Structure 1
Amino acid sequence: MKKPVIEFQNFSFQYRAQSEPTLHEVNLTIYEGEKVLIVGPSGSGKSTLAHCINGLIPFMYEGERSGTLRIAGETISDQGITLLSDEVGTVMQDPDGQFVGLTVAEDIAFKLENDAVPQADMIKRVFEAADTVEFTDFLEASPHSLSGGQKQKTTLAGVLVSDADILLFDEPLASLDPHTGQMTVELIDRIHRETGKTIVIIEHRLEEVLERPVDRVIVVNEGRIVGDMTPDELLCTDLLRTTGIREPLYLNALHYAGCKITAAMQPGHIDSIQLDNCIQPLQQWYNCVHQDELPVSEHPVLEVEHVSFGYEAGKPILHDVSFQIGKGEIVCIAGRNGAGKSTISKLICGFYRPSAGRIVFNGRDLSGDTIKERAEHIGFVMQNPNHMLSKPLLYDEVALGLRTRGVHEDTIRERVHEVLKVCGLYPFRSWPISALSYGQKKRVTIASILVLEPEIMILDEPTAGQDFRHYNEMMEFLNQLNRQGMTIIMITHDMHLMMEYGQRAVVMADGKKIADDCPSRVLVQPDTIAAANLKQTSLHALAVKSGVGEPNEFVGRFIAYDRGLRHP
């Protein structure tokens, strides 16, 4: 019989700053060598569970506890955070909160330095960890200068050098492009198989994690464990839909076709699912759906013309990039980590100036405009919410831009409350920012820009850290603004988002534009997918496996049908 290494028994926890507990009577046992996935909507208590396991609760975040929590057989009250860190290695949701070194190598070596590992052995182990995550070329780089995905690789390598028996990953895929995310899932799986360590993964991107086997999926909702079962058992229930978690795309299509999913069909992965009883209803559904081409705006509101740029002389990031954004369009900019996607947004907003080319807004060259002048028309939501937050209270953060513009307080209250309701933040309007989860902070930053009603909204990874329900609420609100004329640009790794909401996809690789087309066509082009670290969706795999329709057409019809359900 396997030994329990994480044991919650009737465990409850309430943060000192909150009036209600975040965790309620949790009973959960994770056994030695298991690989467990924990899912749940934003604010459900997933990250609080993680903080309990790695010792941040109670040693950093104070509050009231009841019940028992044992890690490796010892109650957490009998261990300090130093001892717990020897048992539990953590990759945090927010990489910036984990950096301590001036270079990537120093950051990876931090645990080894604290353990007084001899320098020769330390150098060897740091290089091996960096090589495992394919990051040896960046050992001398500053962690804070890296892209979101590169930062995630740094923290992952920092955990790999430790000898912890439990590895805890808090949303490890949040900032990664699809290909790199898949490589991370495979890496975690290989570590599990080769070392036998206990792996706990907390992640919104369920389908990506299930690319490799997990022993159990734990579903958390409103601070309680509401599900504890195998992936096959979970995916034939409605628990994901009722708790607001996105189910795999291939299951979406099968449900649209009226197929009944059972555990015996092995639905945990597109490769394992048995489709014998689904071919006929899937074919009937496919025959009844037609792909509609979205209209393309003929009036460009934003023009990027032959733009080149580098942060350092002689080291260009962007090479002769040109594209247009039509008025009222929803355009996704996609590509691998470090391809230059976020750099383009910073150039549009005026944070930097192009070394060549120009950016035109409504027919006018923006080169003479200040950041403030551009902000009157162009709103920008950064990838990391901690880079935007400046006020201690949520309401004041969202109201800040309107107050800066001199808007009357009554109007501010009305507009702030409206946006908070749409973003699912109204119940937390009086909360301190410090009490929010990473996903909730992300929504705060989006709300703070939405409330200003800009003509163009640029969102850098808007869905990172968001559960499916809040993702849909935000995107439907953005859709509503789009129908009223707002132009929306989304920098994203989320292929689901690109398919469901993008009218066009501009794809970047190595600082160059390599594609500009509708998402359904982009996501079936092997060369583009490989160059930009994108990934064919499971819809494509479902079409191939079932033999229903031509894969490109199948993906297009799914998108049309899905959009029709959301916008009848």
Structure 2
Amino acid sequence: MKKPVIQFQNFSFKYHSQVQPTLHDINLTIYEGEKVLIVGPSGSGKSTIGHCLNGLVPFSYKGDITGHLSIMGQEAKNLDIFSISKMVGTVLQDPDGQFIGLTVGEDIAFALENDFRSQEDMFSIVKEVSSLVDMDAYLHSSLHQLSGGQKQRVSLGGVMVDDVDILLFDEPLANLDPATGKHAIELIDRIQKETDTTVVMIEHRLEDVLECHIDRIIVVNDGRIVADLSPDELLSSSILEECNIREPLYVKAAKYAGCEVTADTKPSHIDTFDINKDKLITWFQAADPPAPKVKSSPILELDNIYFSYGTGKNTVQNMSFSINKGEMVSIAGKNGAGKSTLASLICGFVKPNAGRILFNGKEITHDTIKERAERIGLVMQNPNQMISKHMIFDEVALGLVMRGVPEAEIKERVEKTLRICGLYPFRNWPISALSFGQKKRVTIASILVLEPELIILDEPTAGQDFKHYTEIMEFLAELNEQGITILMITHDMHLMLEYTPRAIVIADGEKIADETAANILTNRDVIEKANLKETSLFDLAVKAGIGEPREFVGRFIDFDKEVRKTWQ
């Protein structure tokens, strides 16, 4: 029998900054060589469990602990954070916050330098580890020139040189495009099998994690463990839905169609899932097709835009498209394709080398950032780059204060926006007490409160649980219905399908597709070029023998959206 490497026994934790405990009476054992996934809504306590495992609780985040936590047979409260780091290696969701060295090789070698290893040993170990994480060809590359997926692999290499017993991943997919995320999951799976290291993952994107085998899924809600099951057992239950955690799309579609989903039907992967094809076909034939949207006049036009950061290579080239008033459009593409640069060009942070930008038919190519900000709002991908106040209310109110809005109106508009974004209970909290996902919602609220004509959101749902994802997206959809145009840069294929009838796909700085989201996510050529991923709904329709799989995708998305409107 495998030995336990992590044991929580009647474990509770309360942050000093909070009145109520975040974790209540946790009992959990993880065994040597297991791969375990921890899921739960934002604020459920799952990240705090991770902080307990890597020593950030109680050494960085102070609080009161009751009960016991043992790691590799040692009581955690008797260990210092350095000793814990030699047993538990952590890969953060934001790799940039983990880098020390200037190059890939330097960063991977950092822990070895701290241990006074000889240069000969360091070269040998770094070469071996970099090969394991597929970064041996980049040892002399600058960290700042790497893609999101490459940065994550370097972070993984940096903790693996210590030959740790446990690898802890905190939302490893949060900032990765779908194909890179799939490669990351496959890499984690390969390393776990080759080294027999115990792997603990904390992640919202359940369907993506299930691309590879998972031993157990731990569901955390309100600081308590509500389920500890195999993937097949969990997906055949109603626990995920009850905890507002997104089920895999193909499982949800099967349930809507009335198919029996049990552990015996093996629902943890689309390839193994045994479905009732007749019921699925009957449901498809009865479901209404989505209604088309009425077209309007253009609000934003890009005409043959070129831009380079001065490296000699164009980051954006030959870029032309128009966004109509009242549209909700997604921009997709792999990490480094030029999506965020495109947003910077539209907002005026950088100027194009050639081409024109028009807003409501008037050229704004040479308008200032301030002039554009009166009509265009941008929510950046990293919330820490936008936040400048200590308190949540003050941060959301800042733009209105700068515009001289009366105090009574500021209070009314801020509180309304905080309610919609699920932040009203925290309105008097310091921002430092928030999770990454909650900070993201603060930055969205700070732009939404200004009511611009066009809102650009860079990864609006990254780090959000399904409930808050739905709340934010339904709020954006409501704004869109009121006539506000929305442009979203996203890696979330479900977001594309459900909320943006149209998607623009970029690869290597060029537009390669401008189509319906359903058509794009069923086009293998575009998917491959842009590091996207085919939706499992398409695979399910093909598996069931439905002759119009694209129609099936559209009908499911429309049906699901209507069902979840009842949550609001």
Answer yes or no: same fold by TM over 0.5.
yes
Deviations 1:97-142 (A, max 9, x none): 2222233333222222212233344345445544544445655555
CA 1:33/1:137 → structure 2, altered by over 3 Å: closer, same or farther?
closer
Per the alignment, residue 209 of structure 1 pairs with 209
Matched, 1:98 2:98: yes
Partners of 2:481 and 2:418 in 1: CA distance: 20
CA 1:134/1:301 → structure 2, altered by over 3 Å: closer, same or farther?
farther
Per the alignment, residue 334 of structure 2 pairs with 336
Residue of structure 2 aligned with 1:468, choices 466, 469, 480: 466
Per the alignment, residue 494 of structure 1 pairs with 492
Per the alignment, residue 405 of structure 1 pairs with 403
- More deviation, 370-379/152-161: 152-161
Matched, 1:310 2:314: no
Per the alignment, residue 190 of structure 2 pairs with 190
Instruction: Specify the SS of the correspondent of 1:542.
Output: helix
Per the alignment, residue 159 of structure 2 pairs with 159
Instruction: Specify the SS of the correspondent of 1:445.
Output: helix
TM-score, normalization: structure 1?
Answer: 0.96
Cα contact 1:5–1:32 (8 A) shared by 2: yes
Matched, 1:351 2:339: no
Matched, 1:115 2:111: no
RMSD of aligned alpha carbons: 1.7
Q: 1:5 Cα shift?
A: 0.8
CA 1:312/1:128 → structure 2, altered by over 3 Å: closer, same or farther?
farther
Matches for 1:364-379 after TM superposition, within 5 Å = 364-379=362-377
Cα contact 2:149–2:184 (8 A) shared by 1: no
Q: 1:352 Cα shift?
A: 0.7
Partners of 1:85 and 1:165 in 2: CA distance: 10
Per the alignment, residue 519 of structure 1 pairs with 517
Instruction: Specify the SS of the correspondent of 1:83.
Output: helix
Matched, 1:71 2:39: no
Cα contact 1:296–1:326 (8 A) shared by 2: no
Per the alignment, residue 547 of structure 1 pairs with 545
Question: Match of 2:357, as an amino acid?
Answer: I
Instruction: Specify the SS of the correspondent of 2:295.
Output: coil
Cα contact 1:93–1:438 (8 A) shared by 2: no
Partners of 2:3 and 2:146 in 1: CA distance: 40
Partners of 2:216 and 2:498 in 1: CA distance: 29
Deviations 1:376-399 (A, max 9, x none): 111111111111111111111111
Partners of 1:264 and 1:251 in 2: CA distance: 14
Per the alignment, residue 457 of structure 2 pairs with 459
Partners of 1:80 and 1:150 in 2: CA distance: 31
CA 1:194/1:313 → structure 2, altered by over 3 Å: closer, same or farther?
closer
Q: How many residues align structurally?
A: 566
Partners of 1:433 and 1:75 in 2: CA distance: 32
Cα contact 1:419–1:450 (8 A) shared by 2: yes
Partners of 1:50 and 1:478 in 2: CA distance: 32
- More deviation, 99-108/38-47: 99-108
Deviations 1:351-383 (A, max 9, x none): 111111121111122122111211111111111
Q: 1:348 Cα shift?
A: 0.7
Partners of 1:371 and 1:221 in 2: CA distance: 43
Partners of 1:144 and 1:414 in 2: CA distance: 42
Q: 1:64 Cα shift?
A: 1.1
Per the alignment, residue 223 of structure 2 pairs with 223
Q: 1:93 Cα shift?
A: 2.2
Partners of 1:366 and 1:128 in 2: CA distance: 53
Matches for 1:136-155 after TM superposition, within 5 Å = 139-140=139-140, 142-143=142-143, 148-155=148-155
Q: 1:296 Cα shift?
A: 5.3
Q: 1:247 Cα shift?
A: 0.1
Instruction: Specify the SS of the correspondent of 1:176.
Output: coil
Cα contact 2:296–2:326 (8 A) shared by 1: no
CA 1:149/1:443 → structure 2, altered by over 3 Å: closer, same or farther?
farther
Cα contact 2:458–2:489 (8 A) shared by 1: yes
Partners of 1:563 and 1:458 in 2: CA distance: 22
CA 1:454/1:563 → structure 2, altered by over 3 Å: closer, same or farther?
same
Cα contact 1:92–1:170 (8 A) shared by 2: yes
Q: 1:466 Cα shift?
A: 0.3
Matched, 1:270 2:283: no
Consecutive unaligned residues of structure 1, counting only runs of 5 or more, are none
Per the alignment, residue 260 of structure 1 pairs with 260
Q: 1:144 Cα shift?
A: 5.0
Q: 1:293 Cα shift?
A: 5.4
Partners of 2:164 and 2:362 in 1: CA distance: 57
CA 1:193/1:143 → structure 2, altered by over 3 Å: closer, same or farther?
same
- More deviation, 474-483/419-428: 419-428
Partners of 1:104 and 1:450 in 2: CA distance: 39
Matched, 1:57 2:57: yes
Partners of 2:264 and 2:174 in 1: CA distance: 31
Partners of 1:131 and 1:383 in 2: CA distance: 31
- More deviation, 138-147/180-189: 138-147
Partners of 2:523 and 2:33 in 1: CA distance: 39
Deviations 1:17-71 (A, max 9, x none): 1111111111111111111000000111111100000001111111111111111
Partners of 2:136 and 2:295 in 1: CA distance: 44
Instruction: Specify the SS of the correspondent of 1:411.
Output: helix
CA 1:312/1:296 → structure 2, altered by over 3 Å: closer, same or farther?
farther
CA 1:400/1:480 → structure 2, altered by over 3 Å: closer, same or farther?
same
Cα contact 2:301–2:322 (8 A) shared by 1: yes
Partners of 2:402 and 2:104 in 1: CA distance: 38
Cα contact 1:129–1:157 (8 A) shared by 2: yes
CA 1:153/1:439 → structure 2, altered by over 3 Å: closer, same or farther?
same
Partners of 1:539 and 1:55 in 2: CA distance: 41
Q: 1:281 Cα shift?
A: 1.3
Residue of structure 1 aligned with 2:383, choices 385, 398, 409: 385
Question: Match of 1:471, as an amino acid?
Answer: Y
Deviations 1:455-475 (A, max 9, x none): 111111111100000000000
CA 1:512/1:123 → structure 2, altered by over 3 Å: closer, same or farther?
farther
Consecutive unaligned residues of structure 2, counting only runs of 5 or more, are none
Cα contact 2:210–2:268 (8 A) shared by 1: yes
Cα contact 1:99–1:155 (8 A) shared by 2: yes
Q: 1:487 Cα shift?
A: 0.6
CA 1:374/1:229 → structure 2, altered by over 3 Å: closer, same or farther?
same
